[in-house]
């Protein structure tokens, strides 16, 4: 809506359009575009003068004769803070006309911030030993992606890469440690990123050099590991007495096996002396894990080595058998439906807990018809599962075909409430 302000005097009336101006900008940003005031009059032309009462309003002209145009601009924008500012333009003839000016300054968006994870690094090694394993630093940013550079202030740190764009990973290695004696060394990795709110960002690094070890490295492993099953998750840690998924041994994560040498230790397979069953992987912290994909009978033979910080290694032979998946052991649920019968009819739910040993099946059975838990026995030949449990009316027999985790077949019992033999169909699913 355009408002018009008019002021009268003998011979004509001054008219200023619009009666108010509104500007919007972002703090620290470019000033908004200028806006025009139209200064006219009814009747004879009128002389006028104009002025603004604040220093952030600039007028293209300060006097004239109607009709005229005044361009109104915002100046000194870089000095203005976020908020709503008010000003007035007074155009004087007789009487004067005031034009209200509002300037809304929105807060500037926050600058993107650089971040690293972890916030600090710590390395350990014995005097004269091998350099500790490389560690990684994740470089990220909030908001837009940022370019960055990284530099270390000590010669014993190497960074690869030392520049890039977020997100990125820096591999941090300890180098040039020859001749360094037992002590604690401190360094700093500094990351810089133009325009980042958190730049420069410092990452402290500690290198602890311990005394040379005098105790020999010792490591043992079971000759036979606990068996695995095809398709089921498996874990075994060769680092005994310590937390999994962390460097094995040393002050931060002591281990009972391996011992001696210069901890912490890492693990590897002995080259050319076997390997774990397919689907299993040995990580550097000594955890053998995965999901076996094939039966391994007899047990697979392989050799595991524990290696300390100076490169000394101790190895041990071990073996692991992967057994076929057990399609029976576990909990089963389903329904059975009675064939037409003079007394018994309908569909009932059942649940069974089964255990397979060789071809023999044992366990328990409960259903919504008998409403009691009954012991069962049976056999499984690889395809057919036959079960029997006894009720007050005699044996209840089930014969189903197993396909994966599904069971389908028939059942029979000598009578129902003392009347006639009953038969029907049964189905179920292995739930755990």
Looking up residue 121, the CATH number of its domain turns out to be: 2.60.40.10
Give domain status of residue 355, yes or no: yes
Res 162: pLDDT: 95
Res 226: pLDDT: 94
Which of 323, 348, 381 delimits the end of a domain? 323
Q: Which two tokens stand for residue 169?
A: 């990973």
Give domain status of residue 123, yes or no: yes
Q: Which two tokens stand for residue 93?
A: 């003839």
List Cα–Cα distances, 287 to 44, 55, 202, 240, 245, in angstroms. Answer: 98, 72, 34, 10, 7
- Over residues 243-253, the pLDDT tens digits come to 888 889 876 78
Region of residue 128 (phi > 0: left; psi between -120 and 50: alpha; otherwise: beta): left
pLDDT at 401 over 90: yes
Q: Residue 418: pLDDT band by 50, 70, 90 thresholds?
A: confident
- Over residues 13-44, the pLDDT tens digits come to 889 999 999 999 988 888 999 999 999 998 88
Give domain status of residue 334, yes or no: yes
Query: What SS3 state is found at 77?
Result: helix
Residues 137 and 177 both lie in one domain: yes
Which of 106, 121, 150 delimits the end of a domain? 106
How far apart CA 235 and CA 42 sit, in angstroms, is 95
Residues 134 and 151 both lie in one domain: yes
The sign of the CA dihedral 220, 222, 226, 228 is positive
- Per-chain mean pLDDT for the chain: 90
How far apart CA 273 and CA 267 sit, in angstroms, is 15
* Domain coverage including residue 319: 228-323
Residues 117 and 102 both lie in one domain: no
């Amino acid at each position: 809506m355009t408002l018009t302000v008019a002021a009268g005097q003998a011979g004509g009336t001054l008219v200023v359009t619009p009666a108010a101006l509104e500007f919007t900008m972002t703090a620290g940003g470019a000033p908004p575009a200028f806006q025009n005031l139209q200064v006219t009059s009814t009747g004879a032309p009128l002389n006028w003068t104009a002025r603004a009462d604040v220093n952030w309003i600039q007028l293209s002209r300060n006097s004239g004769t109607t009709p005229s145009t005044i361009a109104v601009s915002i100046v000194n924008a870089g000095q203005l803070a976020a908020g709503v500012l008010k000003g007035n333009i007074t155009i004087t003839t007789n009487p004067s006309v005031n034009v209200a000016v509002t300037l809304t300054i929105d807060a500037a968006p926050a600058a993107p911030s650089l971040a690293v994870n972890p916030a600090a690094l710590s390395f350990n090694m014995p005097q004269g030993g091998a350099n500790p394993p490389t560690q990684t630093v994740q470089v990220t940013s909030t908001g837009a992606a940022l370019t960055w550079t990284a530099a270390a202030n000590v010669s014993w740190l190497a960074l690869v890469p030392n520049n890039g764009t977020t997100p990125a990973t820096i591999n941090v290695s300890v180098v040039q440690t020859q001749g360094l004696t037992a002590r604690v060394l401190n360094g700093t990795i500094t990351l810089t990123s133009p325009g980042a709110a958190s730049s420069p960002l410092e990452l402290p690094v500690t290198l602890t050099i311990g005394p040379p070890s005098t105790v020999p490295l010792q490591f043992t492993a079971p000759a036979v590991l606990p068996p695995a099953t095809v398709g089921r998750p498996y874990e075994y840690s060769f680092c005994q007495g310590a937390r999994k998924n962390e460097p094995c041994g040393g002050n931060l994560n002591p281990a009972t096996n391996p011992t001696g040498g210069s901890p912490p230790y890492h693990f590897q397979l002995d080259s050319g002396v076997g390997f774990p069953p397919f689907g299993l992987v040995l990580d550097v912290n000594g955890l053998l894990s995965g999901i076996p994909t094939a039966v391994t009978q007899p047990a697979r033979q392989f050799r595991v080595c524990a290696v300390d910080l100076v490169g000394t290694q101790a190895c041990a032979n071990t073996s692991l058998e992967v057994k076929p998946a057990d399609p029976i052991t576990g909990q089963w649920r389903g329904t059975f439906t009675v064939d037409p019968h003079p007394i018994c009819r309908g569909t009932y739910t059942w649940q069974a807990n089964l255990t397979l040993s060789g071809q023999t099946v044992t366990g328990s059975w409960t259903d919504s018809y008998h409403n009691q838990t009954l012991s069962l026995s049976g056999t499984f030949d690889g395809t057919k599962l036959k079960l029997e449990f006894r009720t007050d009316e005699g044996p209840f027999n089930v014969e189903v075909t197993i396909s994966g985790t599904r069971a389908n077949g028939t059942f029979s019992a000598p009578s129902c409430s003392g009347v006639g033999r009953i038969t029907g169909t049964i189905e179920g699913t292995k739930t755990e």
